[in-house]
Amino acid sequence: VRLVESGGESVQAGGSLTLSCTVAAQRAFSSYIMGWFRQAPGKGREFVAAVDWSAGLTEYADSVKGRFTISRENGRNLLYLHMNSLKPEDTAVYYCAAKRVGGTYSADGTYNYWGQGTQVTVSS
């Protein structure tokens, strides 16, 4: 499984940005649980959002609820993270991740596949 993120850039606080993750996999994309994580400088990796197509579920970190939306286009093997009302504390490298098995969506250790990350910088 190969994941490639794109869309990261520098934006002003209050702005919007959409990240994309292209997935190349032998199994059907719809069978994977997909997540977005982020890592700010000097901090550990943090859960942002996840989508489980099979279960019809999405989950968000409290820090992004109401501002970020995770979505996917199964026919095009694409995962998105739509980010609104961005804050300087959203500055981080954003990673998409995938796994086949359920469990805790926010646990990064349960994801098997990771992209290389894309930088998002929010200035005040």
Q: Which residues of 31-66 are buried (b: 16+ CB within 10 A; e: fewer)?
A: ebbbbbbbeeeeeebbbbbbbbbeeeeebbbeebee
Segment 56-98, tens digit of pLDDT: 999 999 999 999 999 999 889 999 999 999 999 999 999 999 9
Residue whose structure tokens are 């520098």: 10
Q: Quick count: other Cβ atoms within 10 Å of Cβ 10? A: 12
Average pLDDT over residues 12-21: 98
What burial class does residue 27 get, using C-beta atoms within 10 Å of its C-beta: 0-12 exposed, 13-18 middle, 19+ buried?
A: exposed
Task: Say if residue 102's pLDDT is above 80.
Answer: no
Q: Across all residues in the chain, what is the average pLDDT?
A: 95
Question: Parallel, antiparallel, or unpaired for β 118-123 and 10-12?
Answer: parallel
Q: What is the pLDDT of residue 28?
A: 86
